[in-house]
Structure 1
Amino acid sequence: MDVGDGPLLKFAADLRSLRDRAGGYSYRQLGARAHYSATTLSDAAGGRKLPTLAVTLAYVRACEGDVAEWEDRWRQVAAEVLPNPDPDPDEGHPPYAGLAAYGTEDAEWFFGRDHLLDDLEKRIARRRFVAVFGASGAGKSSLLRAGLVPRVTGRVVVTSPSETAEPDLDADLMIVDQFEEVFTLWPDADRRTAYVDALLAARCKVVIGVRADFYGHCAQHPALVEALTDGQLLLGPMGPEELRQVIMQPAVKASCTVETALVSRLVADATGQAGVLPLVSHALLETWRRRRGTTLTLAGYEAAGGIQHAIAQTAERTYTSLERHQRALARQVFLRLTALGDGTEDTKRRLPRAELDHDVDVDVVLDRLAHARLLTLDRDSVEIAHEALIRSWPRLRGWLAEDRDGLRTMRRLTEAAATWESLGRDPDALYRGTRLDAAVEWTQRDGVRTSAQERDFLAESLQARDRERLLAHRRTRRLRQLVALLAVLLMLAGTAVVLAITAQKEAAAGWKSSAAWYVANQSQALRSSDPQLADQLAIEAHYLNPNDETRNGVLSARATDERDMADRAAFASAQALADPDRERETVPRVLGPADETVTSIAVNGAGQAFATTVVDGVGKVWDVTDAATEVTHTFAGLVELVAFDPARGRTLVAVSDRGAVSVWDWSDPARPVEAARLADQPRPVVGVVYGPDGEVVVTYDVMGEVRLWDVSEPARPALLVELDLARDITAAALSHDRRTLALGTAKGEVRLYDVTDRSKPAELWSGKAHRGAVQALAFHPSGDALATVGTQDTVALWDVSDPRRPAQRGRINGLTEGVYAVGFGDTATNVETSKSNGTRRSWEFDFDKAVREMCDGVTTHITREEWQQYVGAVGALEYHRPCG
């Protein structure tokens, strides 16, 4: 292929060169790293069409390339090969309104709020005064102007306080949009009261639209409170179906079509996001201008920058328009609205309004940022409109990178001040010691601005410290006097001694907590250079202050010691399970070419072991019972996924690149037969997992639809259960008694379902288990334990004896990249993971056993000098060996 034929071919050739420089991974290996299929990545570098931005960046990350550089490259190529985004003066009425609200003239383009409009009409029919509350950007103005007005017969007047100071009451229905301007524009309380009273006394019906964060302001008017009783409609975020109408119906009306991939992407980006509707509309308008013929494409959406870049451009423009001192306030607001990630991306956090000062400049900054759709304000809180702002706005990324330790100090101070306030300003909740010193030092840095609550908290902490020092001085002086009068005042002296001992014990407890934290940090710092010493320090930290955090630290240290050595292949692990007396192999067995990777493993009742591999879409099954491995079957077509019966090796399920799911009868491995195909799948299947007994198969597709199939009779598979979760499912596991189904999502959630009643599966529990996606799940045969593996280098063990209230038994940090399966070893506390390169790894959650194994591996105990350096530095602790 001539790379000079065009920008698209040059782009594809450079992608292939990047793969070569990264080590020449096969596309199957690249797929395991990028979490995309080999076919998708191969097409991306083929040069036939421009891949999506998401696929391109996943390809680059897998090859360890410069993501920012390649994102710029992609946008340059997209600008050349995709349609021109400049508006055509003859193109007609755009089907989307962009960042502006829909007006009465746009009623024919307004969709997605029919059920809310029906509700609103019923309320207006029953009551004379109705209020519509919603966050900034939730669509209040569009609902009232483009949705309600066309439905009303008679004279309708639409106004706002900024348009006229006196409402026009000569109408059948008066709509007052942006009612919060009564409070933001008019400082005169009498003027506000007169306006509100005029509305309440009007003979016509009145509907007001109010931003949710001004709900408390409305409560300041008793007559308005009475009028709002049972007369309120709360406008929340749109659901998936409403968003689909917003996306597709205007395009249909404009004789255009929308790619299914674009609909799915926008629904995923916007579902559950308050205040995101103007950003969706703006992104759709820019995508429509980049349409291919009459089709709105995902490529056009990404070329326009999508929601993310629209937010970033607006943010920079709004920030630079503020006055200098207001910019400093805006910086503090955004820093407080961001939760720093620990090994993950930074995320947004909901900020209580009380955390910010109540002054004019703060209100102006919040109002400007909310008007620009950057923030969402409701009655009691503030939050960033979309997390894409954190990822896409360079200025905010720079602020977050300047002093992350200082930001963590600020977050801890904020939380401590809020706790102190919630406890009625309890003196016991004040800062003391090093935490107080660190917080005071941070407040003295340039550009730091604290809230009134934080300033009060620190001032009280400093005063309390001064009082305690004075009290300590007085106690010392009094103790000297008591010693002089010891012969006379023996009972009083005894009381003083008891008080001193109690205070000393309390101080010792606080000191041990700080000492344990310090020793644990020293252990982490020495992990790479002196692992044996690091192990002993981790154990000592737990002895100093036994709690879940130090316990998990010891378990993680144990897991770090057991490096990812290829002690045996995954299929050799299965042979060992079939024959416990078999000597363990210490190196993985090679299957054919070097880039073959194991995807599943099973042992049948006769003790035969089988492994399956998929490379470049070609699936193979290997007999690995003996030392000489051989291929027993190669599939004729392209295969995306293969799963093997884990119990008896009697059936195999394969997913083709076209999405067809086949069940193979594997009773005779020498002559496998395609027994049947599962019912047509409406969407591509992205995961297939066997139940422990090999008679049930779980499949899930790209839209989160999960199905359970009975394959006990391979020729007649039957659908048992169907769940439509509308989530990005990444892992599944079925309990041994078939009663409980566990599902993992791309957002790190684990969900448990009772599937006993096949017609009505019931959700038992859902919760956040990992910061990144869940990549593997497994139940213990007893059903009382569940192991979960996350992409963010974490393995967790859960007690699910009561599946409605799971409890975490432990969490271990360690390398989990490439893990495709998880199971249990000899005990319910020993978890084993298998990787696609054929290696296995053990994770021990039994604390006492982990300590014994760590100490057994210690050949050099901590010396007195090391003790003094790493433990004695925090206080006079007597030297001893943590490992005896």
Structure 2
Amino acid sequence: MPRGEIPLDPDGGPLFEFAARLRKLREQAGRPTYRDLAQRAHYGIATLSSAAAGRQLPSLAVTLAYVRACGGDEREWKVIWQRTADACVGADASADADTENRNRGGTKPPYAGLFAFGEADAGFFFGREKLTGALVEHLKEKRLLVLFGASGSGKSSVLRAGVIPAFPDGSALVFTPGAHPLEECGSRLAARAGTAPGPVHAKLAAEPGTFHRMVRQILAARQDTGPAPEELLVVVDQFEELFTLCRDVKERERFVAALVHAAQAPDSRTRVAIAVRSDFYTHCTRLPGLAETLPHAHHSVGPMTAEELRAAIVQPAARCRLTVESALLTALTADAHGRPGALPLLSHALLETWKRRRGNALTLAGYRAAGGFEGALTQTAEELHDALDGCRQEAARRLFVRLVALGEGTEDTKRRVPRQELDSGPDTDFVLEQATRARLLTADGDHVEIAHEALIRCWPRLARWLEEDRGQERLHRELTAATTLWESMDHDPDTLYRGARLAAARELPPQVLTARERAFLDAGESAAQQAQQRDRHRLRRLRRLSGALVVLLLCAVTAAGFAVRAQDTVTRQRNEAVALQAAAESVRLSQHSPSLAVQIALAAYRQSPQERTRDALLSTLSVASMGSQALGSRPAGQAPAEHTPAGHAPAVTADGRTLAMADGSRIVLWDMSNPRLPRRLGTLDADGVGLNAIEFTGDGDTLAGTGVDRVLRLWDVSDPRNPALLSKRPTGHSGPLYSIALRRDGRMAATSSFDDTIRLWDITDPARPRMLGTLTGHEGNVKPVAFSPDGRTLASGSDDRDVRIWDVTDPHHAVPVAVLEGHRHFVDALAYSRDGRTLLSGSDDRTAKLWDVSALPRHRELGELARHADIVTGVAFAPHGRTAVTVGVDGAVNVWDVTDRAHPAHLAHLTNPRGTVKEVRPLAANGTFLTVTAHYSVQIWYTDLDRALADACDRIRTTIGRDQWARHFPRLDYAPPCPRRT
């Protein structure tokens, strides 16, 4: 359970009564955490907690979402909200209607919302004057600009509303690459030149210099008709579409070559500005034409300073003779400052606040009614969704999911979709119209797209839609592309799906397919049936002919076959032996030369894809996952690198996104949303006392820890950048403490000790923990303790070789309900499956055991995991429950398929060359686990082979040379597994 809420102000009047009712409703619902409420209500945690704080009246939409999440009566609460609004503001009860009346008046809003600022909005574009000036000077001096920035940092706006107006009118050509960048570029140039796009496209594909010559022709033709600019500014926005939508590598390279040549030709009359998301920087370095120019052409867009933010907020309003309330300015600046992707959220929140303005003032009350910083966008999207009926909600889901390009090692991005790809029906047309009116989508000409990628990040419902079956979505995208190709080639039967691809596509739900896609699949099915019929006729003829040839060929084939087979066998065995030797060597190299080790392991796996080479590849990728600096051991007492996790005692939140690492007397908090790029959040200090065990509550808001001083400490980590100590309480144990466990609801903790006892604690109020009772019964040191997911039982392991399970429903009278006997040595590790039906234990007897505890007190041993050569020190289940991981003193990380708990299957044996692995925890990213070694180093292990193969080349710095290849792969042709890098 998280910390108690701040007491309400009794003098708060109607707001006090309203907030008290909301809190009572939450009590009646079983006091769910605000994290759980946010998942149900699709609003942010801060928005929902503020609704019950009693400081201001939440919007009706937020109130009803809160009520729905708690199972309340929405009709009753509409009346309660209306009465409270009347009592607080009087005439404000009709504020929504007034807002609509004002919006119908046709006044142009001073803020762009989710849309990028365009040339027409230059008069409202403030705060980026310094950056705009630097970019203009860069373009004038160097002609080629590659502008990198996070999604939402304002790249598009600064180019369109800042840089373009600094050049002569009509001198800019702006476009996005799309799936076919050369075709898009040819169409734009042809429109300027007044010619047909087909020939221009063909010339661009054949000769990159065509772009440069076409620009000169366009400018020369305009000079003949009157005054014209001397140069053309070409702006390529959303350059990352070159990697997310365009699948033709050659077309990418030709497009880039055309841009670079046009900017660098001696007689160039073209200046090129490219805007690309910063997480695609590595992709850009793989383009030969661009990689050489990047060091001199790139420029980055960072977060706005506080002064720039104030200008962006106040100046557009001042242009419209509006004022911004000082409290609102302070709140917006605090929310947006230091956040590189916050600008679209800021602009949307300002737009929604403008709609709720009072007279000529933008107020804090209007901002809060709109839902706050991130809540404004979520509220707009949820209001759109809630206003639709069932059929149209399903149409909205299909539409928004289709407008997202799924990331391949990067974040998901928006996707520009031709209208012909969408089924034209009343439901889809209605949703498209409403979403466009709400400024969530843009529809220009023949294309539709999401207004800004911030919607993908901040709308939980859309994120949930995308995550429910990403594999199905990728298959659907491939089907859409194949359908488009089939139509573009006049229904050529050679482009139809066959065999396994057709069968897989047929498994897609019919309701997600458009009429075009269904026609494509039907044509493929018909062609497959016709092909089968032809094959049957052909087979009958071949059988008659083959009977006559078999006897004649048998003797010759037999003699030749023996010779060829013998030679092939020798070659295959030699290559396999070389691959196995290289794979073993790659693991040894991984801690010193991770880049080289990954390439050797990858080449070995491709040469001989088998269990040992697969394990070596996963081992080297895991060692290299956070870079050699992150994984090196360090002397005792030396502070870890500030940019990489290190320590000896880890704790991970239930969602796997936040890591706490105890390192001596301090705890460092890390954001592990992207395990390859951990971000340091904050630091906790334990007053110089060494910590040996830490654990998060289920909601991740509280962290508990124990140290050598046998004191229980609790910290508030709801804001991980500013953690705070809540309490310190001596545990009363007479021996050293070994571990701590927290029940998922945050109400109870358990500490284990070498005094052979367990103590239970009430931490409902983390500021005042209370001891509930002491559990005795073990006949040796009590080591691991773990609560079941439902919190009804507690499992404990001991040096007496037993695992005891305690009923802690009444913690004052906790009793043992089962003793699991079977280990032959000390029990050192425990983990429950997510459903609570299975317990996994690890022991000094070199085994881990799976136990069925679904019907206590009855229990039984299910299966034994025995692949370690030494003590099993840690065990964990993956979040989905189908995979388990065990680690040990032998330095091994073993991965198991436990789908059939009675017959667990070994999946992978990964090796840590640094020796003993002490702890293991699952992370948020699918198939990833975090381990901690005896030398305080942290490693990320990838168990998904497909993902490892896709990402392997991203880990290397320099391509393996011929000498190194010959050393590790003698007598095999030089074939580096990754593109050349220097």
What is the TM-score when the length of structure 1 is the normalising length?
0.40
